[in-house]
Amino acid sequence: MIYDTKEKKFLDIYNENLDIRRLIKNRVFFVKKDNTDLVVKITHIKKDYEWDYGVDVNVKVSGIIKNWWGVERNVNSRYSFHSTVSRNKDIRSAVNGDIKNFLKLFGVPGYNVVIKKINVCDKV
């Protein structure tokens, strides 16, 4: 049973209206906090297939993350992190709030937004 939710309406509008899709995909987020300096761009939005509601967001990221003792780590460097899992976890925790707040402007509740795929590059 599929419920008529805000996320379903948003995804229908996102898939049908090219201008809305361009507006969302052209937005660049500059995440500058005490421990991060990241540039983030949304690359794709799709339905979460594990649940009837929810939105999966794919992002493209470049920049620097500082760890708790102040060492700068480039997200694109292979040797800056122990594993890609820890790198992606740090990126998700740094970027999650900005992406959720942006999608709230389109009527998507923040608790339904999940950052899935992270594409790391030199420049966004």
Dihedral of alpha carbons 88, 14, 102, 97, sign:
negative
With left for phi above 0 and alpha for psi between -120 and 50, is residue 107 left, alpha or beta?
left
Local confidence band at 80 (pLDDT 50, 70, 90 cut-offs): confident
Q: How far apart are the first and last CA of the chain?
A: 39
Q: Is residue 8 packed enough to be buried (19+ CB in 10 Å), middle (13-18) or exposed (0-12)?
A: middle
Residue showing tokens 């993350």: 65
Domain boundaries, the chain: 6-120
pLDDT in tens, 25-70: 999 999 998 778 999 999 999 988 776 678 999 999 999 988 777 7
pLDDT in tens, 12-30: 888 888 899 999 999 999 9
Q: What is the residue type of 55?
A: V
